[in-house]
Structure 1
Amino acid sequence: MIRIIKNIVFRQSVVVISCWLITTNNIYGQSSQSLNLDVCYQLAENNYPLVKQYALLDKTREYSLTNASKGYLPQINVGGQASYQSDVTQIPISLPNIDIPSISKDQYKLYGEVSQPLTDLFTVKHQKELIHANSAVEEQKVEVELYKLKERINQFYFGILLIDAQLTQAETLKKDIRSGMNKNDVAIANGIALKSSSDILRAELLKADQRTIELKAMRKGYADMLSLFINRPVKENTILEKPYRAASLMTKINRPELKLFETQKSTFDVQSKLIDTKALPRFSLFFQGGYGRPGLNMLNNNFDLYYIGGARLTWNISSFYTQKQEKQLLNLSQNALEVQKETFVFNTNLTLKQQDSEIAKLEELIQTDQDIVRLRESVKLSAQNQLAYGTTTTNDYLTYINAEDQAKQNLIIHEIQLLMAQYNFKTTSGN
């Protein structure tokens, strides 16, 4: 009867524990999340405050284009004048029985004029082109600044990956120490090892625990900084996906700075058109109507309405004085921009050469690391078996597992450094 009761209690306990494990796994699955590098790039760009500049630039361009378009509309002027002059036009003859009126020396005029520029229509067109070009330059400057975020995201992302790999290796080291403790306990039980040797292994285990604490603190610091950039929580259980190692890297430069140089160059073309337009004669149609004394009839000394309509030509020939110098200044600016572009390409290629050399070095180190790890692991396993039979000391065993741990640490560091170097290369080249 007692045995039956124990079986029932045991089965109920198994059911309860199973339900608890299922619930825990579900909760963990819902709370954990994964991130990859491309998602972090996109989230960082969307969250960076500078991205708000796009909306401001759109509004600025919209208002500037609206103002420039007003140049297509007729120009309206209203004016007035009151004057007194020392003399007026008189007819120097007198005829009998004919009264020739004289014009008053005080004269008044109030008028309005509507003019429709014709030549300025081309100027307005070029002004709108310049507005679009300048707006494209400012937007591309924002693109350049946002692209620089990739370098900072790379530092945080690969820093976390490196720490995660080191944490995994720390757990492997602890497992080896515990395995050695078990072997050593057998040797102590058989009287072929001292009890103090067990304390040495326990102290080393505590040292490994301290290392885990330090690594977790470092990971939290990197995770907090990455979280600020992407505006998404990066917790202890957040999984950062390890990027694939690139098989080949493109050396062609495709950076947003190159597009910025091109958009800046387009503004010079529009400015050159505006310089040419300034030297053109100005044609316009006009209509003027007013009220004053005298009107258009100079022989009528009464207030009268009048109007005038026609075509007008004005030509500011003095613009030719500075046209040549303005073109030369524009050419100097273009040459300076070309020098900046060449300097950027040169420095970028120099950086790519250095990064390519770093990648080649890390690939060779990894091959050597893998051989060292295999050898160190073989020595450790041999020492682990010897520990149970008392043919090796705990200090020797710790020396072997620490040597293996160091070899694995070097392999981990070089593998993550290689990944980071490859993605830094891609970021530098813009591919």
Structure 2
Amino acid sequence: MIKKVTFTILSAMLFFASVSGQSLTLDECYALAESNYPLVKQYELIEKSREYSISNASKGFLPQLTISGQATYQSDVTKMPFSLPDTDVPTLSKDQYRIQGELVQPITDIFTTIKYKKEIIESETDVERNQTDVELYKIKERINQLYFGILLMDAQIIQVEIMKKDIQSAIEKNRTAIANGVALRSSADMLKAELLKTEQRTIEMHAMRKSFSEMLSLFINRDVNEGTRLEKPLETVLLLGIHRPELQMFDSQKRAVQSKGKLLDAGIIPRLHLFAQGGYGKPALNMLANDFDYYYVGGVRLTWNISNLYTHKKEKRLLLNNQNTIDVQKDLFLFNLELDVTRQNNEIEKLYEIIETDRKIINLRENIRLTAQNQLEYGTVTTNDYLTYINAEDQAKQNLIYHEIERLSAKHNLKTTLGN
């Protein structure tokens, strides 16, 4: 008998599929929702920000040009402490002028500071991308709720239609009983009233399906209506391990901290530069020439800012503390995830057992209802009793439908939880 009911339900679903020109799968809804969700625009903004930052960091390879000028007046100037016979030693002017440009080409920074700045930019960009991945991944949970909600409404609507046919059949048998004088005419009204109640249930289910469909439409940016068939997902096979985007986010956060550590280490080493100066002034390089003249100087410069050593050790400890904080957050995430997985696995096992009991209950309720339906024709059972039996059978079938969809939803929710 259960096989017959299952065949009827499948036939009805195939009928709906044949009249509908559109079908959707759960994976298609995932993909459409992710591509349509406004947050997806964040990826483009992140990429543009990365390009601008990398471009700015690369400018560190270029020579640094500084232009300066000064005009001074001083109270005294350098003079020769002796005089030479027949020689006029010039005296410098107390007013002096100079304008110069200095071109500095960093050498050490090319292989340290600039390199590590780029690493930080790349790693922080990965963090932003992964954070966006985490937010987008949450959409799957909402899609699951809407998708399986629609599947549940579809299955329940089909079951209500089957119940309506059973009531119609009972009405026909009741007419025979009334004609034979073994049933009251009021019994027919009771059956018709019950038929109207099932019509109300159908209206409510269609309204709820419409609500779910409209919300799903907003997520996937595609029309989902009464004619849209949502394909029932197969029993999913769960892969081993956890593949959530949060794990990649934690890893990228640690890489960002490690890159900052490299930049911090680069700040305590000596700096080597090539430099060239050129200018025009009075006096120029020859301090004894009290005239305006051009000059230039070039060479290698070594600098070492040892003040960075004062805070380097504490700053390294601060970065290590940040890494440990990320590890704690990761462990907490995995702990809570394990709790969810355990709960969901237990829920799935419970539903398997409940479904087996549902099938046994349906088999018994069907037998009772069929017996009462035959008795109704001969007036040996009251209409009120028959309605009790038919409602009990319908409730048992609705329970089975609900538990089967709930189990399928629970398995896909577990798949989403694991990131498979």
Q: TM-score, normalised by structure 1?
A: 0.92
Residue 307 (structure 1) aligns with: 296
Structure 2: segments with no counterpart, 5+ residues: 1-16
1:385 corresponds to 2:385: no
Q: Which of 265, 273, 284 pairs up with 2:262? A: 273
Residue 183 (structure 2) aligns with: 193
Structure 1: segments with no counterpart, 5+ residues: 1-27
Residue 44 (structure 1) aligns with: 33
- Stretch moving more, 42-51 or 251-260: 251-260
1:90 corresponds to 2:83: no
Residue 203 (structure 2) aligns with: 213
Supply the AA of the counterpart residue of 1:83.
T
1:102 corresponds to 2:88: no
Supply the AA of the counterpart residue of 2:126.
A
1:318 corresponds to 2:313: no
Report the alpha carbon displacement of residue 337 of structure 1 after superposing the two structures with TM: 0.5
Supply the AA of the counterpart residue of 1:362.
L
Q: 1:109 aligns to what SS in structure 2?
A: strand
1:111 corresponds to 2:61: no
Report the alpha carbon displacement of residue 252 of structure 1 after superposing the two structures with TM: 2.2
Residue 425 (structure 1) aligns with: 414
Q: Which of 379, 390, 402 pairs up with 1:413? A: 402
Residue 330 (structure 2) aligns with: 341
Report the alpha carbon displacement of residue 85 of structure 1 after superposing the two structures with TM: 1.2
Residue 45 (structure 2) aligns with: 56
Report the alpha carbon displacement of residue 115 of structure 1 after superposing the two structures with TM: 1.1
Q: TM-score, normalised by structure 2?
A: 0.94
Q: 1:300 aligns to what SS in structure 2?
A: coil
Distance 2:241 2:339 in 1: 13
Residue 14 (structure 1) aligns with: none
Q: Which of 345, 349, 356 pairs up with 1:360? A: 349
Report the alpha carbon displacement of residue 250 of structure 1 after superposing the two structures with TM: 4.0
Supply the AA of the counterpart residue of 2:287.
M
Whether the 8 Å contact between 1:156 and 1:226 is mirrored in structure 2 is yes
Q: Which of 16, 40, 65 pairs up with 1:76? A: 65
When the two chains are superposed, the root-mean-square deviation of aligned CA atoms in Å is 1.2
Residue 158 (structure 1) aligns with: 148
1:351 corresponds to 2:344: no
Supply the AA of the counterpart residue of 1:169.
Q
Percent identity of paired positions between Structure 1 and Structure 2: 61
Report the alpha carbon displacement of residue 359 of structure 1 after superposing the two structures with TM: 0.5
Distance 1:66 1:349 in 2: 43
Residue 384 (structure 2) aligns with: 395
Q: 2:184 aligns to what SS in structure 1?
A: coil
- 1:362-386 deviation digits (Å, cap 9, x = unpaired): 1100000001001111111111111
Q: Following superposition, which runs of at least 4 residues in structure 1 exceed 2 angstroms of deviation?
A: 28-32, 248-252
Distance 2:88 2:317 in 1: 67
Whether the 8 Å contact between 2:19 and 2:227 is mirrored in structure 1 is no
Q: 1:200 aligns to what SS in structure 2?
A: helix
Residue 229 (structure 1) aligns with: 219
Report the alpha carbon displacement of residue 249 of structure 1 after superposing the two structures with TM: 3.3
Q: 2:233 aligns to what SS in structure 1?
A: coil
Q: Which of 202, 224, 233 pairs up with 1:243? A: 233
Supply the AA of the counterpart residue of 1:69.
S
Report the alpha carbon displacement of residue 30 of structure 1 after superposing the two structures with TM: 8.4
Supply the AA of the counterpart residue of 1:240.
L
Distance 1:30 1:75 in 2: 72
Whether the 8 Å contact between 1:32 and 1:237 is mirrored in structure 2 is yes
Q: 1:318 aligns to what SS in structure 2?
A: helix
Distance 2:148 2:198 in 1: 23
1:167 corresponds to 2:149: no
1:283 corresponds to 2:275: no
Distance 2:238 2:294 in 1: 82
Report the alpha carbon displacement of residue 95 of structure 1 after superposing the two structures with TM: 2.0
Whether the 8 Å contact between 1:80 and 1:110 is mirrored in structure 2 is yes
Whether the 8 Å contact between 1:293 and 1:301 is mirrored in structure 2 is yes
Supply the AA of the counterpart residue of 1:400.
Y
Residue 6 (structure 1) aligns with: none
Distance 1:323 1:343 in 2: 30
Report the alpha carbon displacement of residue 96 of structure 1 after superposing the two structures with TM: 2.4
Q: Which of 218, 223, 246 pairs up with 1:257? A: 246
Supply the AA of the counterpart residue of 1:243.
P
Distance 2:380 2:221 in 1: 57
